[in-house]
Amino acid sequence: MDPLLDFTGKVAVITGAAQGLGQLLAQELAKRGAKLVLCDINETGVKQVAKSIAASGAKVIAMRCDVASSEQCKAVVDSAIKAFGGVDIAVNNAGIAHEFMPLHDIDESIMDSQFAINVKGVQFGMRYQIQQMLKQGQGCILNVSSMAGLCGSPLGSAYAMAKHAVIGLTKTGAVEYGRANIRINAICPFFTLTPMVTNFADEEKQKKIGKIAPMNRLGEPKEVVATMLMMLSPANTYMTGQCIAVDGGVSAT
């Protein structure tokens, strides 16, 4: 296998792996030799994903985890250590959107859920992943932010707040743990055709949003996952603290 994409024996934890980007990333890492610890608040969904990946011969465990719970995030890392001896790669991918609405209509419950899942959920994951990676002397973390973490996001202010916070956690973590040989980066996709988007936007709406991008379309999950693989690659050893847009050119406008 090309060493750029050879994940043989690497233990990878992925949150939010029951569907969308997390599911596809799990499938792609398994094909390339990784051992997987998958979790999601949707226990049935994540166990189904694990079952289909295991059928191809990969080593995989799956469990329920609400990333808003610090204890449950710890349990995921503990399970990885118990099943496979550690955590080489961690992808803090679980996240939620909220209905499009102007900032002056965003109420406290939306702020709370965005903060609990999209911000605290990432910090809880990082906390226990880093504790283990410090013991190992190495590790690689990829946080899933968004274009909304880099730019203003009209009608998505609470989501933008949360995804900007993920960038803050990523950059600070990279600086704090660079000397410990732990790389920490974030990926920042524009609208991508996962259930998060297809559940609220029909084809007409997708086309309309796609027009914002110089490439005149939304992203495909495989395009985002290809960049995730590159960022996680065992050959990609000097990249840390970076927040990479996968956005059809939106951030260039």
User: Rule CB under 6 A: which residues touch ligand NAD?
Assistant: 15-16, 18-22, 40-42, 65-68, 93-96, 117, 121, 144, 146, 189, 191-192, 194-197
Rounded least distance, CB 138 to ligand NAD, Å: 25
- Any residues with CB less than 8 A from the CB of 208 and at least 6 apart, and which? none
- Residue of 128, 159, 177, 238 marked active site: 159
Residue 159 annotated to the active site = yes
Work out the angle at residue 175's Cα, subtended by the Cα atoms of residues 236 and 192, and round it to the nearest 5 degrees. Answer: 55
- CA–CA distance, 4 with 2 (Å, rounded to integer): 5
Torsion (CA) 27, 227, 144, 42 in degrees, nearest 10 = -20
Measured from the CB atom, the residue of 2 and 204 that comes closer to ligand NAD is 204
Rounded least distance, CB 81 to ligand NAD, Å: 20
Work out the angle at residue 157's Cα, subtended by the Cα atoms of residues 153 and 158, and round it to the nearest 5 degrees. Answer: 135
Rounded least distance, CB 8 to ligand NAD, Å: 26
Measured from the CB atom, the residue of 34 and 193 that comes closer to ligand NAD is 193
Rounded least distance, CB 89 to ligand NAD, Å: 16
Residue 23, exposed/middle/buried by CB under 10 A (0-12, 13-18, 19+)?
buried
Rounded least distance, CB 159 to ligand NAD, Å: 7
- CA–CA distance, 46 with 160 (Å, rounded to integer): 27
What's the length of the chain?
253
Which among 69, 35, 72 has a CA at the least distance from the CA of 54? 35
Rounded least distance, CB 226 to ligand NAD, Å: 15
Long-range pairs for 147-150 at CB < 8 Å and ≥24 separation? 147/188, 147/189, 147/190, 147/245, 147/247, 147/250, 147/251, 149/186, 149/188, 149/243, 150/188, 150/243, 150/245, 150/251
Residue 78 identity (one-letter amino acid):
D
Question: Taking a C-beta distance cutoff of 8 angstroms, is the pair 233, 241 a contact?
Answer: no
Catalytic residue IDs:
159
